[in-house]
Structure 1
Amino acid sequence: MDSAEVEFLAEKSPITIVPNFAQEKLYLISGDVGPFNPGLPVEVPLWLGINLRQRGKCRIVPPDWMDPEKLTEKKDEESQSKNFTKMPCEHYLVVAQLVLTAATEDIPNSQQIKTLIKDIWDLRVAKLRSSVAEFIQSEGTRAKLDHLTLLEINSVRPFLPHSLDHLYRFSKTAFNSNLSQSQTQDYS
């Protein structure tokens, strides 16, 4: 799965918009949305909300978790915890990036939110890399990491199998070397 596929999945996340037009329900494959009435909030898939915002048809209401106070709490919680904390949104980084790109003027404190999201991402990626390094050094055969998002898993996916393959080859070579040395000693 690449980042475009992760973004595609994130675009299905619900978002609240305030339309400035009137229209009956839209019948989509994923479900019905609407009706749309000017000034009345309605929940739509993120991809539709962004499309309507780009055409000037609505204002996007930021998700509850995109509040600087809540993000600061989440950042503190993440930095104080050894384990990964549960994120308020499965696709927090992608949703934030899409919303902040399409509707910066709709989001109060957008620059602060961008910074906090980036800080949280950096903390989690650093934690993920150190977890992977510990796993490889301990020569583990399986690991369990709770509360990772799809994008975070996707960020280490290209690296991890390659590293584990090298680790396996090294251990196999070391085992064969030890085996041949012990057989040589038996014959001596």
Structure 2
Amino acid sequence: MALPLPPGLTPPETAFLCEMEMVTVIPRQRLEGLNLLGGPTPPLHPPHRTPLPFWLALLLKRQRRANILPPPWLSPPSLSSILDLEKKTPSFSPPPPLPAHTTTSPPFLPSATADAPPDALPYHWLELGEMLLEAASDDIPEPDNVRRLMRDLREVRMAKMRAGVNVLEGGREVNLNGVGGMEVSEGRAFIGGVVDGLRKIGASKEMSRREREAEERENGIGGGDEEEDEDDGMDT
């Protein structure tokens, strides 16, 4: 019997969607454009920069036909600045601003190209950074430092997510503005477990309250009868 699918996107599915992001490549040889389902890709002419889907850029990188330009936010100065902001504020760092006169929204923004803003983490920052470090670490300046900063950012932001669920007990909402796709996928089980636990606690408290009120009503009625019996005995 097939097991039920978990709600929402799993981490592998989120990483698969990340491969549709647009990145910037520097071709190492001339290649004609391809007719893809999402539209034709531009021809590659070294050394001109060209935007390509991430999955295609990874394929060309593994074939040594192109180098991938990391987005500006995937650099030690930018990651250090974002990490300092994350440590200073209880909220998450703001996502990249929406481009003017656009009908698209995250995660379908050009937030991983060479023209992306340097001071904001996009929706797929975690999975895109990890895949770039794995497949194109030679294209990233100071890859070991970048890897360390990304690990620190992940720990700080996950700690914020865990701390944020404390407001659920008071009936308030968790503010997840600026949280990335992989962070949501990884934290869904934890947050969902907390919500289910709070629901069970609330149901148990409600049941205890009703039982206590019923017991108090019964004791009140019994106490009134005893007082009436005592008064009747004193009159006789």
- What TM-score do you get using the length of structure 1 for normalisation? 0.92
Range with greater deviation from structure 2 (178-187 or 42-51): 178-187
Say if 2:102 is the partner of 1:89.
no
Larger-Rg structure: 2
Unaligned runs of 5+ in 2: 1-8, 95-119, 220-236
Who is 2:104 aligned against? Answer: none
Who is 1:177 aligned against? Answer: 208
Counterpart contact for 2:126–2:180, Cα < 8 Å = no
Deviations, residues 14-43 of structure 1 (Å, cap 9, x unaligned): 111111121222111122212111221111
Deviations, residues 59-101 of structure 1 (Å, cap 9, x unaligned): 1111111121111111111111111112432111111111111
Who is 1:120 aligned against? Answer: 153
Deviation beyond 4 Å, 4+ runs, structure 1: none
Q: Distance in 2 between matches of 1:75 and 1:150?
A: 18
Aligned partner of residue 40 in structure 2, secondary structure: strand
Who is 1:131 aligned against? Answer: 164
Who is 2:76 aligned against? Answer: 68
Aligned length: 186
Instruction: Tell me how far 1:46 sits from its aligned partner.
Output: 0.9
Unaligned runs of 5+ in 1: none
Who is 2:85 aligned against? Answer: 77
Who is 1:164 aligned against? Answer: 195
Who is 1:107 aligned against? Answer: 140
Q: Distance in 1 between matches of 2:162 and 2:197?
A: 17
Q: Distance in 2 between matches of 1:159 and 1:65?
A: 28
Instruction: Tell me how far 1:8 sits from its aligned partner.
Output: 1.0
Aligned partner of residue 157 in structure 1, secondary structure: helix
- What TM-score do you get using the length of structure 2 for normalisation? 0.74
The percent of aligned pairs where both chains have the same amino acid is 26
